[in-house]
């Protein structure tokens, strides 16, 4: 995830402000190219309609050379699909259409049959796992059965908090941009209800990389999931 020096992942408008630099975007492209699937949460999906594609042709060629599909699978976790044309996604939708790869939406029993059908009509595979919210353990097991070994989670903070709480995160990469956006309620890399100090997720710092433009990349391994 990309955050500002004050720990924000979006501006107060919550429309997916660009926080990554060009150098960071290039790193994200490589991470995507090395992943079997790329995952986002439902609010990120609706706020940004993200493309989640690998764009440099040399990275696409490397994937194909390894016998992989040209694009990683795109996956979204959405509690309730909106009961409206297109499930709340624009038409055309970058998430659903760009790249031409496999697109999976995992949702819960709260989504209506009509909403599932509308999204399927637009080419997505729709999977129902969980009653009121998506069962994340079941979702990751489904992805593993679908051949996903390396999953890149691109946020947002609600999804990341839930994955951390379930002990499902191995590694965390944070890009820190030389920017301040402020706002008491603007999103951060890890949202959710919060964790008491005694149960904090513990990390080991594996690498620090400073870009010439003032950006910093922190790479951590999760050494103890939330207790
Ligand atoms: N700078 C960055 O790197 C970056 C990256 C991504 C996103 N963002 C920003 O982050 C913001 C969105 O983040 P967000 O935290 O609001 O939402 P989010 O994490 O993108 O979306 C979480 C969604 O997943 C649903 N969900 C279903 N099952 C879940 C489960 N078991 N656990 C957790 N969530 C589950 C939640 O539904 P319910 O809670 O309704 O049940 C919620 O709608 C946007 O402003 C976006 O632009 C920034």
171-181 pLDDT tens trace = 999 999 999 99
Q: What are the beta bridge partners of residue 78? A: 107
Both tokens assigned to 140: 């990751």
CATH number, domain with residue 47: 3.40.430.10
Average pLDDT, the chain: 96
Question: Ligand 1, from 5, 43, 49: best to mutate by most atoms within 8 Å of Cβ?
Answer: 43
DSSP assignment string, 111-138: S-HHHHHHHHHTT-EEEE--SSS--HHH
Residues 34-58 have a mean pLDDT of: 96
* pLDDT-based confidence at residue 87 (cuts at 50, 70, 90): confident
List pocket residues of ligand 1, CB cut-off 6 Å: 1-2, 9-10, 14, 16, 19, 40-44, 47-48, 77, 79, 133-134, 136, 154-159, 162, 187, 191
Give me the domain span that covers residue 125: 2-224
Tell me the whole-structure pTM to 2 decimals.
0.96
Secondary structure class of 103 (helix, strand, coil): strand
On the CB side of 133, how many CA atoms lie within 13 Å of its CA?
9
Number of domains into which the chain is organized = 1
Q: How far is the CA of 42 from the centre of ligand 1 (A)?
A: 6
Ligand 1 pocket check: which of 17, 158, 160, 165 to mutate, most ligand atoms within 8 Å of Cβ?
158
Distance CA 201, CA 174 (A): 15
Per the CB < 8 A criterion, the answer to whether 203 and 174 are in contact is no
- Are 37 and 74 in contact, with CB atoms under 8 Å apart? yes
Beta partners for 127?
106
- Sheet hosting strand 73-78, strand order edge to edge: 125-128, 103-107, 73-78, 37-41, 151-153
Instruction: Quote the ligand 1 centre to 187 CA distance (angstroms).
Output: 9
Closest residue CA from atom 36 of ligand 1: 79
22-33 vs 57-65: helix axis angle to the nearest 10? 20
pLDDT level of residue 84 (50, 70, 90 thresholds): confident
For the chain, the residue count is: 227
Check: CB of residue 56 under 8 Å from CB of residue 29. Answer: yes
């Amino acid at each position: 995830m990309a955050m500002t020096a004050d720990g924000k992942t979006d501006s107060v408008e919550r429309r997916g402000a660009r926080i990554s630099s060009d150098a960071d975007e290039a790193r994200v492209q490589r991470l995507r190219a090395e992943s079997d699937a790329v995952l986002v949460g439902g609010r990120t999906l609706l706020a940004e309609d993200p493309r989640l594609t690998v764009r440099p042709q040399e990275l696409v060629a490397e994937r194909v050379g390894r016998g992989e599909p040209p694009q990683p699978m795109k996956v979204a976790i959405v509690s309730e699909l909106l009961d409206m044309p297109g499930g709340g996604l624009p038409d055309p939708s970058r998430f659903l259409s760009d790249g031409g790869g496999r697109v999976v939406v995992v949702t819960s029993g709260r989504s209506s049959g009509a909403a599932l059908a509308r999204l399927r009509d637009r080419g997505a595979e729709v999977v129902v796992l969980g009653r009121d919210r998506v069962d994340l353990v079941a979702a990751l097991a489904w992805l593993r059965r679908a051949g996903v070994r390396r999953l890149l989670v691109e946020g947002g903070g609600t999804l990341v908090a839930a994955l951390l709480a379930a002990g499902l995160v191995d590694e965390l990469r944070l890009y820190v941009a030389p920017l301040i956006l402020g706002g008491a309620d603007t999103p951060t890399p890890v949202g959710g209800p919060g964790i008491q100090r005694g149960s904090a997720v513990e990390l080991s710092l594996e690498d620090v990389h400073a870009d010439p433009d003032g950006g910093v990349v922190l790479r951590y391994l999760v050494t103890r999931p939330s207790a």
